[in-house]
């Protein structure tokens, strides 16, 4: 028989909270790894190229499905402009890739969206699909470049979007329910939060932000920094608990 069920509930809530935290960190870490690999994939020699901000990639693909990478281009000038876009997509190995070139004319004020199909067969190490786009300059329109990494998983059910949604949802639910159970039980035991408790609670928004930044894409710098800070904070908390 449990002598103090409220104290046991508090400890269970803490375990549930950390389970959600670690699940979120794992997904954010894999997505960040994919984006970091993509940022180093086929570096463009044109150092003056600006960031391509409207590159859209799926964050995750399951083994049995295909996806689409897209980018939308606009012509803000007062003359028709021709745009040339080079796409470099990994094809099984870091040194192996397929290259595709798209050319199209844009009237003043017009927009055009280009799409490229991707599949798990493009994945490097069977895990990451790496994509690099380079838009050639056409003055006054500058050259632009962007990259993204797509995580590939091998599960018997679900699409990549469904798997990502369920994983993120489970992480948030576990963190929220665990924190609620932990704090409610601590309050019923008339326990005041200590500095280490506030540090523990601060882990949740850091992991949530890491998930957001890793899902948005980019180089993975911000999400990587948040994950590193989260890891160091966990080490500090564990060290304090064991001392």
What is the structure's pLDDT at 190?
Answer: 57
3-state secondary structure of 209: helix
Beta strands per DSSP E along the chain: 50-51, 55-56, 60-62, 67-74, 81-93, 96-106, 111-118, 128-135, 144-153
Question: How confident is the model at residue 1, as a pLDDT?
Answer: 38
Give the list of residues 6+ apart from residue 150 with CB closer than 8 angstroms, or none. 34, 57, 58, 59, 60, 61, 67, 118, 123, 128, 129, 131
Q: What is the mean pLDDT of each run of 10 residues along the chain (243 residues)?
A: 59 91 96 92 81 90 94 89 93 83 91 94 93 90 91 93 95 94 74 75 94 81 92 89 72
- Whether the CA torsion 135, 137, 138, 142 is positive or negative: it is positive
DSSP bridge pairs for 130: 149
DSSP-derived pairing of the beta strands 60-62 and 111-118: unpaired
Do residues 178 and 159 make contact, with C-beta atoms less than 8 angstroms apart?
no
User: 41-153: CATH homologous superfamily?
Assistant: Immunoglobulins (2.60.40.10)
- Both structure tokens of 122: 């493009």
| Predicted local distance difference test score (pLDDT) of residue 188 | 67
Tell me, what DSSP letter sits at residue 136?
P
pLDDT reported for residue 199: 86
Q: Under a CB-based contact definition with an 8 Å cutoff, are residues 121 and 92 in contact?
A: yes
Cβ atoms of 35 and 148 within 8 Å: the answer is: yes
Decide if 199 contacts 205 (C-beta within 8 A).
no
- With tokens 């940022």, the residue in question is 39
């Amino acid at each position: 028989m449990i002598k103090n069920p409220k104290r046991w509930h508090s400890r269970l809530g803490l375990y549930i909270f950390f389970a959600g935290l670690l699940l979120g960190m794992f997904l954010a870490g894999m997505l960040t790894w994919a984006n970091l690999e993509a940022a180093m994939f086929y570096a463009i020699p044109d150092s003056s190229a600006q960031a391509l901000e409207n590159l859209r990639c799926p964050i995750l693909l399951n083994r049995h499905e295909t996806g689409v990478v897209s980018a939308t281009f606009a012509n803000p000038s007062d003359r028709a402009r021709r745009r040339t876009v080079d796409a470099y997509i990994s094809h099984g190995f870091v040194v192996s890739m397929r290259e595709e070139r798209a050319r199209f004319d844009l009237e003043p004020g017009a927009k055009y969206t280009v799409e490229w199909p991707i599949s798990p067969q493009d994945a490097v190490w069977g895990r990451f699909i790496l994509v690099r786009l380079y838009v050639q300059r056409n003055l006054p329109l500058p050259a632009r470049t962007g990259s993204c990494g797509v995580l590939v998983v091998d599960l018997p059910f679900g699409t990549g979007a469904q798997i990502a949604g369920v994983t993120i949802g489970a992480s948030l639910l576990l963190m929220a329910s665990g924190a609620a159970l932990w704090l409610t039980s601590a309050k019923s035991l008339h326990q005041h939060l200590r500095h280490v408790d506030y540090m523990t609670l601060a882990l949740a928004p850091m992991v949530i932000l890491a998930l957001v930044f890793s899902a948005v894409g980019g180089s993975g710098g911000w999400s990587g920094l948040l994950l590193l800070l989260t890891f160091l904070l966990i080490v500090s908390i564990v060290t304090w608990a064991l001392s």
